[in-house]
């Protein structure tokens, strides 16, 4: 088990993602300081990790939802069209009449309103169904992200 942890922490993609997290959260330019390919990689990796951890509800609730537009663009860039469709369906359930707000607090307030909306009691079940479809077939996001990182020169092509 410890050996697996060491391999993971030296994996080029693990290191790339963690360096992007650090730059987004600890550098003066934040997300804006990333290159376009880095933004797309980061947004899709964040989507994958958040949905795998807690579903689309968690994705939109956390700061990850701020990168929705980049996640859409990133999914197109890596050819993950089924996942793109799931993301758009989730967006239409949660924010049917408006673009996804970039501001986390605004999204959370709207989510709170949706959760208490007695006219739409099915939203949670619908999101759960999308979560299950995501888990079953998320267009093999990891290999697609890895190929994208190689193609864009974000990591060594031999990694």
The verdict on residue 95 lying in a domain is yes
Distance from C-alpha of 12 to C-alpha of 16, rounded to nearest angstrom: 6
What average pLDDT does the structure give for the chain?
A: 89
Q: How do residues 61-71 score in pLDDT, each as one tens digit?
A: 999 999 999 99
Sole residue written with tokens 């619908």: 126
Total domain count for the chain? 1
- Output the pLDDT for position 71: 98
Residue range(s) defining the domain that contains residue 79: 35-151
Q: Does 19 fall in a domain? A: no
Asked if residue 97 is part of any domain, the answer here is: yes
Q: Do the domain assignments include residue 89?
A: yes
Would residue 144 count as lying in a domain?
A: yes
Of 9, 158, 138, 124, nearest to 71 (Cα)?
Answer: 138
Residue 2 located in a structural domain: no
Q: Is residue 82 part of a domain?
A: yes
Write out 53-120 in H/E/C secondary structure.
HHHHHHHHHCHHHHHHHHHHHHHHHHCCHHHHHHHHHHHHHHCCCCCCCCCHHHHHHHHHHHHCCCCC
Q: Is position 10 within any domain? A: no
For residue 84, what are its two tokens? 């793109």
Convert the pLDDT of each residue in 80-126 to its tens digit: 999 999 999 999 999 988 999 999 999 999 888 876 655 566 888 89
The pTM of this model reads 0.88
């Amino acid at each position: 088990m410890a050996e697996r942890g060491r391999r993971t922490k030296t994996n080029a993609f693990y290191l790339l993602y963690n360096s992007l997290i650090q730059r987004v959260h600890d550098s003066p330019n934040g997300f804006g300081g990333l290159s376009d390919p880095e933004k797309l990689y980061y947004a899709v990796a964040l989507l994958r990790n958040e949905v795998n951890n807690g579903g689309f509800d968690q994705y939109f609730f956390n700061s990850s939802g701020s990168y929705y537009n980049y996640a859409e663009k990133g999914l197109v860039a890596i050819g993950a069209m089924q996942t793109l469709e799931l993301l758009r369906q989730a967006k239409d359930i949660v924010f049917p009449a408006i673009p996804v707000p970039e501001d986390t607090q605004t999204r959370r307030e709207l989510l709170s309103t949706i959760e208490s909306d007695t006219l739409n009691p099915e939203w949670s079940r619908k999101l759960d169904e999308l979560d299950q479809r995501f888990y079953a077939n998320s267009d093999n996001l990891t290999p697609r992200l890895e190929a994208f990182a190689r193609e864009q020169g974000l990591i060594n092509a031999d990694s």
